[in-house]
Amino acid sequence: MIATMAHRPAATILHADLDAFYASVEQLLDPSLRGRPVAVGGGVVLAASYEAKAYGVSGGMAGWRARQLCPDLVITGGHFRDYQRLGDATIDVLRDVTPLVERISIDEAFLDVTGSVHLFGSPATIAAAIRERVRDELGLPISVGVATTKHLAKVASQVAKPDGLVVVEAGDEARFLEPLPVGLLWGVGPATRTKLADRGIHTIGELGATSPDVLRRLLGQAAGTKLGALATNDDARHVDTGRRARSVGAQSALGRRQATADEVRTALGYLADRVAGRLRGAGQAGRTVTVRVRFPGMRAITRSATFAWAVSSTLTLAEIAFDLVATALEDEPNEHEITLLAISVSHLEPEGELQLELPVEPAERHRPGSPRGAARSATDQAVDRVRERFGRSAVAYARTAFRPDRGVPDDFRELAEHDLDRTA
DNA sequence: TCTGGGGTCCTAGGACCC
DNA sequence: TCTGGGGTCCTAGGACCC
């Protein structure tokens, strides 16, 4: 074991990341948008072109704020099918280089090209070829970072943006990292950056020079240890082609709504339908149900319950979620309005394992093996089959006729969903 | 004129078991 | 006689990422 760690051979990892992805697709589809500040989204900016970023517009920003910063901003978007198609096509280009591709989102992936160099040339040559193909065949700019570890490759691709290539040679890592701001490290967000800045730590070099004990006291056990390792480029993660989802969820922003039982039940019915449908589609079910309720002012609370059996039935999930939200609201007698509801299911396992001897729990009435559970399972299967043939909107549970009147279309939700059964 | 939707991981405290 | 220590699981909240 020790010998393996000490003599771990140097790998070559690429991180490929499409630039301002949704915005670039819009500029590709509509040439009149090229060279102009473009934001994809509406109430919230999902992606901003580099022309828009120059005005300070960025992802996650409220739409009115973006327009305020950039009066000429073109707000467009909604071509979610094209985003999916072009994201998939980019990943296909990467898979022509090596099967060792770990996709981490619609527009970004790691590649382990350690074994590809005698086929295709140096890592820099491979990276340049990838960029050229994506540019020529798909019409999109993509940045690539090359390094000996995943984490450093990701930092390198961020430094390469927009539309660039950065290669960090083995042995040159420390010199590359030292002057960079800590915020470029994976896992350093606003809160951590502030804590570090309060200690006078601004660069990765300064972070690496800080004692592990100090970092652990400042940031907690895990984060302190991890960041210290990243700052000194001690990252042994390998490219993983078969990661499985650990939870499945859905949420809906509601505007400001009275938290009446009817409003809550309707919204939860819609969310439960999405979540349970995806679970069944992947042949999975989950033992833990978590709900989240957000109030005006962005404060949010969560409530969860874990059972001895796993849930995948739409109506059962909806009932459990309703009970959880009801108790959460009872704990908040001063809140009368809500702005968001969410359902998430975790502790996933294969669906449909019959469990006979079950402990009696308060929520026992939800148990899938009961007569009612069997009826629900049959209903779910019938609905799933109709939808397979005729599409999602062909049939709905009575409670799920809810259409979120604000928020995003279902196409976007599907785009953001992570694959439940991504196997090698 | 307070802001989307999909996730992952960590922490702290408590229950419970041996 | 009221006292140890370790482990696991669960819950709620928070930070972070795309």
Summarised one tens digit per residue, pLDDT across range A185-194 is 999 999 999 9
- Strand C footprint nucleotides (protein C-beta < 7 Å): 9-18
- Find and give the residue nearest to C12, measured CA to C1': A302
Distance A162 CA to B4 C1' (A): 25
Q: What is the distance between the alpha carbons of residues A155 and A147, in angstroms, rounded to a whole number?
A: 9
Instruction: Output b/e per residue, A36-72; b: 16+ Cβ within 10 A.
Output: ebbbbbeebbbbbbbbbbebebebebebeebbeebee
Residues with CB under 7 A from strand B: A 43-44, 46, 59-62, 64, 220-223, 245-253, 255, 274, 278, 297-298, 339-340, 342, 344, 346, 404, 406-408, 412-413, 416-418
The nucleotide minimizing the C1' distance to residue A303's CA is: C12
Q: What is the distance between the alpha carbons of residues A82 and A79, in angstroms, rounded to a whole number?
A: 5
The nucleotide minimizing the C1' distance to residue A154's CA is: C17
Q: What is the distance between the alpha carbons of residues A274 and A368, in angstroms, rounded to a whole number?
A: 19
Q: What is the distance between the alpha carbons of residues A150 and A88, in angstroms, rounded to a whole number?
A: 21
Element holding A285 (H helix, E strand) = strand A284-294
pLDDT of the residue at A76: 92
- For strand A247-258 and strand A337-350, is the pairing parallel, antiparallel, or unpaired? antiparallel
Which residue in the block uniquely carries the two structure tokens 């707000």? A75
Q: What is the distance between the alpha carbons of residues A359 and A250, in angstroms, rounded to a whole number?
A: 29
The nucleotide minimizing the C1' distance to residue A104's CA is: C18
Distance A32 CA to B1 C1' (A): 31
pLDDT of the residue at A356: 41
Peptide bond into A368 cis (omega under 30): no
Average pLDDT, chain A: 90
Helix (H/G/I), strand (E/B), else coil: A393: helix
* Summary count for chain A: helices (H), strands (E): 17, 12
- Evaluate the CA torsion angle A236, A422, A341, A63 in order and state its sign: positive
Catalytic site positions of A: 108
- Evaluate if residue A424 carries a pLDDT over 60: no
pLDDT of the residue at A423: 44
The nucleotide minimizing the C1' distance to residue A223's CA is: B10
Distance A184 CA to B10 C1' (A): 20
Helix (H/G/I), strand (E/B), else coil: A44: strand
- Evaluate the CA torsion angle A75, A81, A86, A90 in order and state its sign: positive
pLDDT tens across A113-161, in order? 999 999 999 999 999 999 999 999 999 999 999 999 999 999 999 999 9
Residues with CB under 7 A from strand C: A 60, 104-108, 154, 185-193, 287-288, 300-306, 347, 416
pLDDT tens across A349-362, in order? 998 765 443 444 44
Mean predicted confidence (pLDDT) in A53-67: 93
pLDDT tens across A219-234, in order? 998 899 889 988 888 8
- Strand B footprint nucleotides (protein C-beta < 7 Å): 1-12
- Find and give the residue nearest to B12, measured CA to C1': A220
DSSP class of residue A89 equals H
Distance A398 CA to B13 C1' (A): 41
- Find and give the residue nearest to B6, measured CA to C1': A416
Which residue in the block uniquely carries the two structure tokens 């527009």? A107
Q: What is the distance between the alpha carbons of residues A159 and A176, in angstroms, rounded to a whole number?
A: 10
- Evaluate if residue A404 carries a pLDDT over 50: yes
Order of strands, sheet of A284-294, starting from the edge strand that comes earlier in the sequence = A247-258, A337-350, A284-294, A300-311
Distance A7 CA to C12 C1' (A): 42
Length of chain A: 424
The nucleotide minimizing the C1' distance to residue A189's CA is: C16
Distance A359 CA to B18 C1' (A): 22
pLDDT of the residue at A390: 86
Mean predicted confidence (pLDDT) in A395-422: 74
Q: What is the distance between the alpha carbons of residues A280 and A81, in angstroms, rounded to a whole number?
A: 23
Distances (CA, A) of A354 to A146, A148, A276: 49, 47, 18
Phi/psi-derived region of residue A199, left when phi > 0, alpha when psi is between -120 and 50, beta in every other case: alpha
Q: Taking Cα atoms as reference points, which of A282, A277, A290, A285 lies closest to residue A308?
A: A285
Mean predicted confidence (pLDDT) in A319-333: 97
Neighbouring CB atoms inside 10 A of A399's CB total 18
The nucleotide minimizing the C1' distance to residue A187's CA is: C16
Percent of chain A surpassing pLDDT 90: 73
Distance A252 CA to C4 C1' (A): 49
pLDDT tens across A16-31, in order? 999 999 999 999 999 9
